[in-house]
Amino acid sequence: VSELVLTLRQPAQIGDRSREDFVLATMEYLPGSVVRGAFAAAWLARHGVPAKQSAQRAEFIRLFEGEVRFGSLLPAGTQPPSLSVISHKYEPLEGCDEVEFDRAMTDDVPLRCPNPDCDSPLEQSRDLRGERPRLRRRASVSIHESGVARRGVLFTRETLPEDLAFAGTVAGDPALLGSLAALREVRVGGRRTTHGLAAVTIKAGSAPPALQRRADGMLVLRLSSPGIFVDQQGRPSREPTPEELERLLGVPARVVRRWTRWQQAGGWHIASGLPKPTELAVAPGSTYLISSEQAVADQTITALGQHGVGLRRHEGFGDLAPPPQLSPGRREREAEQVRLRGLRDSVAALSGVRLNWPDRRPAMWRALSGHAAGDQAATAALRREAADPPDARVGAALTAVLNMTPADAAYVVGELNRR
Ligand SMILES: [Zn+2]
């Protein structure tokens, strides 16, 4: 599995449908189906339409009709929507213990914020989570599908700004991914002569999100892209059947709760160039609580992240999402303050170095600052300082810094430099 990054070189408009309020909207992320279509178009522009039975056609089919899985690409700093999460409808107050609840992880969640001063309703959001990209909005003259201006009608066109980078996973044979990287640029979304040019980067990536295990052994399945499921009779379904779950998990399992909504899923059969019939899909952010009769192996859970769920997976459907990071309420903010105080206390002995061992300080501080910035040579130097400290308390403090996460180490070094 590799990480795919598309960086816009022009503004882009990723539209799935026209709205009736005279806004030509853009999606804020790139669904896997859009990514796959962009690469297929770029491949055809580079190589031409391949002849039947040719090696090029064989590669085209492998790339776009089965062997490569294109995941959703999200703007940096965002997370997929989560339909199991409910958030404050109005701005939360300082005193609200919790700001958001994840119904997939907590069984008893209130309908309104329990803080009596606040009492905000809690509601589901369908949007991307985190810092959403800032869209550009411009008024234009209305254009029909045919390209003819409708006199006097203004509408607003939304676009994603250039330089915005989208990242996600792409899975497939390394040689195939090499063919995609070699294209270097693709065009995403509409108005392709002036919009949507994006630079392609493919690099080694970490394992894609998998299922989440609850403390009681139940599993949580979250989708980052639309998902297409059918029941035993082949009719659209909001959830995977017990049969599909057993095939994926290796043990009998069923959905016990779900948070979903319907949306339409179109698409193209790329090899033939024909549109596919529109199907019903569940929206990105759909979430399922799954009960299994026996424990599911860790390996199986990891493999499911790479495989995805439901139908038409190679077109970008049925990709899994990581657990949502909930906005911290008062309780979590206070717990974080306590934790940070503990980190500061664990390195308090270093404050005495300046007075007691002034000749040791410059090298020690260079090592600390470099380590905090991720410099591996500085980390090695810090290990040497920790192995030969001026006293035991300073040694313990240096070891504590070495054992911290990079973010925590950067925090304590910053705090030491402020004193
Ligand atoms: Zn509140």
User: How wide is the angle at C-alpha 26 spanned by C-alphas 155 and 145, nearest 5°?
Assistant: 55
For residue 107, how far is its CA from the centre of ligand 1 (angstroms)?
Answer: 19
Number of continuous H segments (helices) and E segments (strands) in the chain: 11, 24
Q: Which residues contact 362 (CB under 8 A, 6 or more apart)?
A: none
- Number of Cβ within a 10 Å radius of residue 254: 16
For residue 337, how far is its CA from the centre of ligand 1 (angstroms)?
Answer: 20
In 95-177 the beta strands, taken as DSSP E runs, fall at: 100-102, 122-124, 129-130, 136-143, 149-159, 165-171
Give Cα 42 to chain centroid, integer Å.
25
For residue 27, how far is its CA from the centre of ligand 1 (angstroms)?
Answer: 29
Q: How far apart are CA 186 and CA 4, in angstroms?
A: 12
The arithmetic mean of pLDDT across residues 282-292, rounded, is: 96
Q: What is the pLDDT of residue 264?
A: 84
Both tokens of 330, joined, read: 């008062």
For residue 368, how far is its CA from the centre of ligand 1 (angstroms)?
Answer: 40
Residue with tokens 């369908």: 126
- The answer to whether the CB of 309 falls within 8 A of the CB of 240 is yes
Q: Which residues contact 363 (CB under 8 A, 6 or more apart)?
A: 381, 385
For residue 113, how far is its CA from the centre of ligand 1 (angstroms)?
Answer: 5
- The answer to whether the CB of 378 falls within 8 A of the CB of 371 is yes
Question: What letter does residue 320 receive in the DSSP assignment?
Answer: B
The arithmetic mean of pLDDT across residues 361-386, rounded, is: 95
For residue 405, how far is its CA from the centre of ligand 1 (angstroms)?
Answer: 32
Q: How far apart are CA 125 and CA 405, in angstroms?
A: 32
Give Cα 222 to chain centroid, integer Å.
11
Both tokens of 99, joined, read: 């700001």
For residue 183, how far is its CA from the centre of ligand 1 (angstroms)?
Answer: 49
The arithmetic mean of pLDDT across residues 108-132, rounded, is: 93
Q: What is the pLDDT of residue 419?
A: 67
Q: What is the pLDDT of residue 315?
A: 85
Q: How far apart are CA 362 and CA 377, in angstroms?
A: 16
Per-residue model confidence as pLDDT tens digits over 166-175: 999 998 999 9
For residue 119, how far is its CA from the centre of ligand 1 (angstroms)?
Answer: 6
For residue 222, how far is its CA from the centre of ligand 1 (angstroms)?
Answer: 26
- Confidence tier at 157 by pLDDT (50, 70, 90): confident
Q: How far apart are CA 306 and CA 406, in angstroms?
A: 28
Q: How far apart are CA 411 and CA 419, in angstroms?
A: 13
Amino acid at 344: R
Q: What is the DSSP string of 270-313?
A: TTTTEEPPPEEEEPTT-EEEEEESSPPPHHHHHHHHHH-SSS-G
For residue 254, how far is its CA from the centre of ligand 1 (angstroms)?
Answer: 35
For residue 341, how far is its CA from the centre of ligand 1 (angstroms)?
Answer: 26
Q: Which residues contact 97 (CB under 8 A, 6 or more apart)?
A: 114, 115, 329, 330, 331
The arithmetic mean of pLDDT across residues 64-84, rounded, is: 92
**Helix, strand, coil fractions of the chain, as percent rounded to 5:** 30, 25, 45
Tell me the CA distances in angstroms from 337 to 55, 344, 348, 409, one per residue in order: 61, 11, 16, 16
For residue 340, how far is its CA from the centre of ligand 1 (angstroms)?
Answer: 25
For residue 122, how far is its CA from the centre of ligand 1 (angstroms)?
Answer: 9
For residue 120, how far is its CA from the centre of ligand 1 (angstroms)?
Answer: 6
- The answer to whether the CB of 138 falls within 8 A of the CB of 157 is yes
Q: How far apart are CA 414 and CA 419, in angstroms?
A: 9
Give Cα 80 to chain centroid, integer Å.
5
Per-residue model confidence as pLDDT tens digits over 386-414: 999 999 999 999 999 999 999 999 999 99
For residue 322, how far is its CA from the centre of ligand 1 (angstroms)?
Answer: 26
For residue 332, how far is its CA from the centre of ligand 1 (angstroms)?
Answer: 14
Q: What is the pLDDT of residue 417?
A: 87
For residue 333, how far is its CA from the centre of ligand 1 (angstroms)?
Answer: 14
For residue 109, how far is its CA from the centre of ligand 1 (angstroms)?
Answer: 13
For residue 216, how far is its CA from the centre of ligand 1 (angstroms)?
Answer: 28
- pTM assigned to the model: 0.82
Q: Which residues contact 252 (CB under 8 A, 6 or more apart)?
A: 242, 246, 292, 293, 294
For residue 115, how far is its CA from the centre of ligand 1 (angstroms)?
Answer: 5
Q: Identify which has the larger pLDDT, 283 or 272.
A: 283
For residue 320, how far is its CA from the centre of ligand 1 (angstroms)?
Answer: 30
For residue 128, how far is its CA from the centre of ligand 1 (angstroms)?
Answer: 21
For residue 101, how far is its CA from the centre of ligand 1 (angstroms)?
Answer: 12
Both tokens of 381, joined, read: 């130097």
Residues with CB under 5 A from ligand 1 (ion): 92, 96, 113, 115, 118, 120
Q: Which residues contact 372 (CB under 8 A, 6 or more apart)?
A: 406, 409, 410, 413, 414
Per-residue model confidence as pLDDT tens digits over 318-372: 999 999 999 999 999 999 999 999 999 999 999 999 999 999 999 999 999 999 9
For residue 111, how far is its CA from the centre of ligand 1 (angstroms)?
Answer: 11
Residue 168 bridge partners (DSSP): 4
For residue 257, how far is its CA from the centre of ligand 1 (angstroms)?
Answer: 26
For residue 83, how far is its CA from the centre of ligand 1 (angstroms)?
Answer: 19
